[in-house]
């Protein structure tokens, strides 16, 4: 499993966890125990057992005693909602015996591995006196469950100042544990639990030096995501002087419940059984929104524990949001792509953190910097290699301290030398500061261990020319701690954000949506140094993080606001409202740019567009989806009965005749390049009027050359609220059309509703 904090797979934070499916697949000897998740058929439970857990314990006790463990030692968790079943330590012989029972439905082997946020509310158009914030009472009475690394309860973001009482329907609690007392919870943080039985069953200890055996957050990731979704107002928050202002979550009036399922250990591992247990408990406790900034490796849905558990949550009306992953910019890299999950990609915001540099010739240049100390560097010599002819001067051990001490070192050609290595080398050699010319953005705020300025290679020619041609070149001044707003274009698709087509179901557009995910300021755990600068270890309680981990809680917060306004909306209705009202052009009125390539992006990168909370409150029409729609979708995948049963958690279902395409708010037509293959794809959709009592919608098509979209009928007339209307859409492409081509269907009415859906064609 992966926790989607940080950047792409090209630069992964070494202290994060990532669960990798199937990493412990060696066959056990009969004497050894391994942990398994056992999916049971609930209809086989004898009436004599009052609870599922008592039945599960009895089942384990009935197995042949090839072991020294009691049923209490064998059983880790009994699951009631995400599936009917349990996780237990079993020998292969016991597993074989159990799998022969009529009640057995499926087995999942335990998986291990490593872990894979002030301005964003304004960027999203949220205002205190108008729009969705006041209408939703800022998310009042909505409960957001965060499945993550825990929480730092003392953070000002979790103050219950101004909060409404805990909802009476809430069934959760705050558990006692290491450095965590139930008294730390309040009307904001209403629940905190931890789950580690699966980890400990594997013989992996929770190190006191690396984590807390409780719901307390060690890494800060869970604190960051929770405060992003629903943090209270905090004045004067900032990242070492950058991004200063009032921090608040997207739904500051909502309640938070933390479910700690991810741990730091000597082996830096976490167990899938624990993740499943956290999701199961969240459903039991009564959360309204579930947010997961993590994911398992891409597998079919019948093997995907998060997909199975999320479908159970959706059945109970819980909206599930997941991060899309940080494996961009490559294609087919999305995680958590089940169509019942809202899959969120990461976008940039219109804010940069910069330093300015004035050279000896008077030229002033601006570059990126997060260096935390508000200092000036003045009248320093500029060093650019011996004789000013060497380009790759900052490789490991390449700098002579006698030559560079007290100077500003210019490091060039970072496309061939890792920029982290260069920064370390400049620091090692005793330079006063560094200027790094890089081709792609690959540094995080904590990487700036010395006064540094980063320039994209495309805008650095003047610096290079000055350094090469002027003897005794100097830097007259370097100035840090500048936050620049209004940067254009924004948003862009963050370079690390995972892209479609989805590797499991390419016919469903993923990610669904884009939300702020780069340089997001939110609360963190101040229990350890955030970064080192020289001899100083720096600690902070608010920090800038990047990743789809940060994007997902933005969407979770928006979902909480929508739930507060529309209590009767289904999870499908909430997702539709978010997708069909999304922004599809950037601040320069152009198509979103891919941050990695600098070229226009496509819906395979940004889904339906960038999230737009105020518009989502009144979408006009919705594409609703119920459980039977998902069943029809699964029927169309060709799963056998056992696989269908694993996903649906039941013995019987109805695969009705007719189309199996989902009533999704986006369209994906997949064509093969083979000769004589079909060149037309047909879709059927139904929309529900949630706007005024009467409305007439006209279809407006945006179609590129090489693609044809037909709609029937092209006018939808509604005479009442909640009335439904059907329409058919067909997509046709020319043989010479590019491999990815897309347009838009927009339903427009007289009340200024614009219901937008991307229509994407992919040639494979």
Contact assessment for residue 702 and residue 585, using Cβ atoms and an 8 Å cutoff: no
CA nearest 669: which of 507, 436, 534, 440? 507
pLDDT value at residue 27: 40
pLDDT value at residue 332: 95
User: Pick the catalytic residue: 141, 148, 444, 502?
Assistant: 148
Quote the CA–CA distance of 465 and 449 in Å, as a whole number. 27
Q: How many whole angstroms from its chain centre is CA 27?
A: 34
CA nearest 84: which of 64, 62, 55? 55
pLDDT at residue 346 is higher than 50: yes
pLDDT value at residue 706: 93
Query: CA of 674: how far to CAs of 443, 679, 730, in Å?
Result: 43, 10, 20
**What DSSP element (H or E) covers 632?**
helix 627-635
In a domain, 302, yes or no: yes
Give 177's strand partners.
180
- Establish whether 148 is a catalytic residue: yes
Q: Confidence band (pLDDT; 50, 70, 90) for 522?
A: very high
Residues 247 and 360 in one domain: no
Structure tokens at 12: 């992964």
Residues 49 and 100 in one domain: yes
Quote the CA–CA distance of 343 and 346 in Å, as a whole number. 10
pLDDT at residue 487 is higher than 90: no
In a domain, 515, yes or no: yes
CB-CB neighbours of 186 under 10 Å:
16
Residues 249 and 131 in one domain: yes
418 Cβ contact partners less than 8 Å away, ≥ 6 residues apart: none
Residues 222 and 273 in one domain: yes
Average confidence (pLDDT) over 285-311 = 94
pLDDT of 29-58, one tens digit each? 445 888 999 999 888 899 899 898 999 999
Query: CA of 142: how far to CAs of 233, 626, 744, in Å?
Result: 17, 22, 33
Question: Among residues 427, 455, 485, which one ends one of the domains?
Answer: 485
Residues 209 and 143 in one domain: yes
pLDDT value at residue 122: 84
Give the predicted TM-score (pTM) of the model: 0.91
User: Pick the catalytic residue: 39, 221, 224, 255?
Assistant: 221
Quote the CA–CA distance of 16 and 12 in Å, as a whole number. 8
In order, the DSSP letters of 67-122 are SS--HHHHEEEEESSS-SEEEEEE-HHHHHHHHTSTTEEEEEE--EE------HHH
Structure tokens at 229: 């979704």
Average confidence (pLDDT) over 301-322 = 96
What does residue 250 show for φ and ψ, rounded to 5 degrees?
-65, -35
Contact assessment for residue 438 and residue 454, using Cβ atoms and an 8 Å cutoff: yes
pLDDT of 438-453, one tens digit each? 877 667 888 888 898 8
In a domain, 647, yes or no: no
pLDDT value at residue 31: 57
Helices (H), 231-288: 272-285
What does residue 677 show for φ and ψ, rounded to 5 degrees?
-80, 155
Contact assessment for residue 409 and residue 383, using Cβ atoms and an 8 Å cutoff: yes
Query: CA of 586: how far to CAs of 515, 558, 581, 589, in Å?
Result: 13, 20, 14, 5
What does residue 296 show for φ and ψ, rounded to 5 degrees?
-85, 165
pLDDT at residue 20 is higher than 70: no
In order, the DSSP letters of 147-216 are EES-B-TTSGGG--TTPPPPPTT----B--BTTB-GGG--SSEEEEEE--HHHHHTT----TTT--SSSB
> Tokens 């380009």 appear where?
391
Query: What is the residue-averaged pLDDT of the chain?
Result: 88
578 Cβ contact partners less than 8 Å away, ≥ 6 residues apart: 342, 512, 513, 555, 558, 559, 562, 608, 611, 616
CA nearest 450: which of 545, 538, 359? 538
3-state secondary structure 192-206: EEECCHHHHHCCCCC
Contact assessment for residue 310 and residue 175, using Cβ atoms and an 8 Å cutoff: no
Contact assessment for residue 356 and residue 581, using Cβ atoms and an 8 Å cutoff: no
Residues 87 and 233 in one domain: no
Contact assessment for residue 187 and residue 255, using Cβ atoms and an 8 Å cutoff: yes
In a domain, 516, yes or no: yes
Residues 300 and 239 in one domain: yes
In a domain, 406, yes or no: yes
Q: CA-based angle 303:308:314, to the nearest 5? A: 160
Quote the CA–CA distance of 59 and 101 in Å, as a whole number. 10
pLDDT at residue 10 is higher than 60: no
Structure tokens at 639: 């799963």
Instruction: Please return the burial class of 599, using the count of CB atoms within 10 Å of its CB with bins 0-12, 13-18 and 19+.
Output: exposed
In a domain, 635, yes or no: no
pLDDT value at residue 390: 47
- Establish whether 416 is a catalytic residue: no
CA nearest 106: which of 281, 308, 306? 308
Q: Confidence band (pLDDT; 50, 70, 90) for 682?
A: very high
Query: Which carries the bigger pLDDT value, residue 655 or residue 393?
Result: 655
Residues 146 and 183 in one domain: yes
pLDDT value at residue 538: 83
pLDDT of 443-484, one tens digit each? 788 888 889 888 876 667 889 889 888 989 999 999 887 888
pLDDT at residue 4 is higher than 90: no
User: Pick the catalytic residue: 8, 549, 576, 756?
Assistant: 549
Contact assessment for residue 507 and residue 450, using Cβ atoms and an 8 Å cutoff: no
Question: Among residues 445, 468, 485, which one ends one of the domains?
Answer: 485
**What DSSP element (H or E) covers 54?**
helix 52-61
pLDDT value at residue 537: 79
Quote the CA–CA distance of 241 and 448 in Å, as a whole number. 14
CA nearest 718: which of 740, 735, 696? 696
In a domain, 646, yes or no: no
pLDDT of 595-609, one tens digit each? 999 999 999 999 999
What does residue 375 show for φ and ψ, rounded to 5 degrees?
-120, 165
CATH for 85: 3.30.70.80
pLDDT of 136-191, one tens digit each? 999 999 999 999 999 999 999 999 999 999 999 999 999 999 999 999 999 999 99
Structure tokens at 722: 């909640």
pLDDT of 53-104, one tens digit each? 999 999 998 887 755 676 677 899 999 998 889 999 998 889 999 999 999 9
pLDDT value at residue 238: 86
Core vs surface per residue 627-655: b (16+ CB within 10 A) or e: eebbbbbbbebebeeebbbbbbbeeebee
Question: In which domain, by residue range, is 104 found?
Answer: 30-109
Give 247's strand partners.
234
Residues 199 and 327 in one domain: yes
Quote the CA–CA distance of 104 and 195 in Å, as a whole number. 25
pLDDT value at residue 115: 47
Average confidence (pLDDT) over 220-244 = 91
CA nearest 174: which of 277, 288, 256? 256
Quote the CA–CA distance of 243 and 544 in Å, as a whole number. 9
Quote the CA–CA distance of 654 and 642 in Å, as a whole number. 14
CB-CB neighbours of 534 under 10 Å:
10
- Establish whether 549 is a catalytic residue: yes
pLDDT at residue 8 is higher than 50: no
Residues 178 and 321 in one domain: yes
pLDDT at residue 392 is higher than 60: no
Structure tokens at 245: 């202002």
CATH for 722: 2.60.40.2310
CATH for 388: 3.50.30.30
> Is 452 in a helix, a strand, or coil?
strand
Which range, 298-307, 360-369, 391-400, 708-717, has the best average confidence (pLDDT)?
708-717
402 Cβ contact partners less than 8 Å away, ≥ 6 residues apart: none
Quote the CA–CA distance of 385 and 388 in Å, as a whole number. 5
In order, the DSSP letters of 500-555 are SS-SS-TTS-SS-EEEE-SSEEEE--TTS-SEEETTEEE--SEEEE-SHHHHHHHH
Contact assessment for residue 251 and residue 142, using Cβ atoms and an 8 Å cutoff: yes
> Is 48 in a helix, a strand, or coil?
coil
Residues 124 and 103 in one domain: no
Quote the CA–CA distance of 478 and 621 in Å, as a whole number. 53
Percent of the chain with pLDDT over 70: 90
Quote the CA–CA distance of 526 and 145 in Å, as a whole number. 22
Query: Which carries the bigger pLDDT value, residue 572 or residue 20?
Result: 572
pLDDT at residue 388 is higher than 50: no
In a domain, 22, yes or no: no
Question: Among residues 615, 650, 676, which one ends one of the domains?
Answer: 615
pLDDT at residue 532 is higher than 80: no
| Strand positions, DSSP E, 203-349 | 234-239, 242-247, 255-260, 289-292, 294-295, 319-323, 342-347
Residues 139 and 82 in one domain: no
CB-CB neighbours of 757 under 10 Å:
25
pLDDT at residue 658 is higher than 80: no
CA nearest 360: which of 376, 383, 380, 387? 380
Structural domain total, the chain = 4
In order, the DSSP letters of 353-365 are EEEEEEETTS-EE
Query: Which carries the bigger pLDDT value, residue 529 or residue 671?
Result: 671
Q: Confidence band (pLDDT; 50, 70, 90) for 659?
A: low
CATH for 340: 3.40.50.200
pLDDT value at residue 593: 95
DSSP state of 359: E
């Amino acid at each position: 499993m992966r926790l989607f904090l940080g950047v792409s797979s090209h630069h992964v934070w070494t202290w994060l966890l990532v669960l990798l499916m199937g990493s412990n697949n060696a066959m056990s000897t009969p004497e050894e125990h391994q942990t398994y998740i056992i999916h049971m058929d609930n209809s086989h439970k004898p009436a004599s057992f009052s609870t599922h857990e008592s039945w599960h314990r009895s089942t384990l006790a009935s197995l042949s005693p090839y072991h020294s463990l009691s049923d209490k030692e064998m059983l880790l968790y009994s699951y009631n909602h995400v599936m009917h079943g349990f996780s237990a330590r079993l020998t292969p012989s016991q597993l074989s015996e159990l799998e022969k029972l009529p009640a057995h439905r499926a087995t999942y082997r335990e998986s291990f591995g490593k872990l894979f946020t002030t301005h964003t509310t304004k960027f999203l158009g949220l205002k205190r006196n108008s729009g969705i914030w006041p209408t939703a009472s800022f998310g009042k009475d909505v409960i957001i469950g965060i499945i993550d690394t825990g929480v730092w309860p003392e953070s000002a973001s979790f103050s219950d100042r101004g909060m409404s009482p805990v909802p009476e329907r809430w069934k959760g609690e705050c558990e006692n544990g290491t450095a965590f007392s139930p008294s730390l919870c309040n009307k904001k943080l209403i629940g905190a639990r931890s789950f580690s039985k699966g980890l400990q069953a594997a013989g992996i200890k929770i190190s006191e030096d690396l984590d807390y055996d409780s719901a307390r957050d060690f890494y800060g990731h869970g604190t960051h995501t929770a405060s992003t979704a629903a943090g209270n107002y905090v004045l004067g928050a900032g990242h070492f002087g950058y991004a200063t202002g009032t921090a608040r979550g997207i739904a500051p009036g909502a309640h938070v419940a933390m479910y700690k399922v991810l741990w730091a250990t000597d082996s830096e591992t976490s167990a899938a059984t624990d993740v499943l247990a956290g999701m199961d408990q969240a459903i039991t406790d009564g959360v309204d929104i579930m947010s997961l900034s993590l994911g398992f490796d891409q597998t079919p849905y019948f093997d995907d524990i998060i997909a199975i558990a999320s479908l159970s949550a959706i059945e109970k009306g819980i909206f599930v949001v997941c991060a899309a992953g940080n494996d961009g910019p490559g294609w087919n890299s999305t995680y958590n792509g089940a169509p019942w999950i809202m899959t969120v990609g990461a976008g940039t915001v219109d804010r940069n953190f910069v330093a300015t540099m004035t050279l000896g010739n008077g030229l002033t240049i601006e570059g990126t910097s997060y260096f935390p100390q508000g200092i000036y560097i003045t009248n320093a010599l500029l060093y650019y290699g011996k004789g000013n002819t060497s380009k790759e001067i900052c490789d490991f051990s390449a700098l002579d301290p006698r030559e560079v001490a007290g100077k500003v070192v210019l490091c060039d050609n970072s496309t061939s030398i890792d920029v982290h290595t260069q920064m370390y080398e400049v620091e090692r050699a005793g330079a006063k500061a560094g200027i790094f010319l890089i081709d792609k953005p690959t540094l995080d705020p904590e990487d700036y261990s010395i006064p540094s300025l980063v320039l994209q290679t495309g805008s650095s020619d003047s610096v290079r020319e000055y350094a090469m041609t002027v003897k005794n070149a100097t830097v007259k001044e370097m100035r840090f701690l500048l936050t620049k707003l209004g940067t254009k274009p924004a948003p862009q698709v963050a370079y690390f954000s995972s892209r479609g087509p989805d590797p499991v179901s390419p016919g469903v557009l993923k990610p669904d949506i884009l939300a702020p995910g780069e340089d997001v300021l939110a609360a963190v755990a101040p229990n350890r140094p955030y970064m080192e600068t020289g001899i100083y270890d720096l600690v902070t309680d608010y920090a800038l993080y990047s990743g789809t981990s940060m994007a997902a809680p933005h969407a979770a917060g928006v979902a909480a606001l929508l739930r507060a306004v529309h209590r009767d909306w289904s999870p499908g209705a909430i997702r539709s409202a978010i997708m069909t009202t999304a922004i599809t052009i950037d601040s320069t009125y152009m198509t979103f740019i891919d941050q990695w390539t600098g070229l226009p992006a496509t819906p395979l990168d940004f889904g339906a567009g960038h999230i737009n909370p105020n518009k989502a409150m009144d979408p006009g029409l919705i594409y609703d989806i119920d459980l039977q729609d998902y069943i029809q979708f699964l029927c169309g995948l060709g799963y056998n009965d056992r696989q269908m049963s694993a996903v649906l958690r039941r013995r019987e279902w109805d695969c009705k005749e007719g189309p199996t395409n989902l009533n999704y708010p986006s369209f994906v037509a997949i064509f093969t390049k083979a000769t004589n293959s079909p060149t037309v794809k047909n879709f059927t959709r139904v929309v529900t009027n949630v706007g005024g009592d009467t409305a007439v919608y006209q279809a407006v098509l945006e179609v590129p050359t090489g693609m044809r979209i037909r709609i029937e009928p092209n006018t939808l007339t509604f005479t009442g609220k909640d009335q439904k209307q059907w329409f058919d859409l067909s997509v046709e492409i020319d043989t010479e059309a590019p491999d990815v081509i897309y347009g838009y269907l927009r339903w427009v009415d007289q009340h200024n509703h614009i219901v937008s859906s991307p229509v994407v064609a992919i040639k494979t």
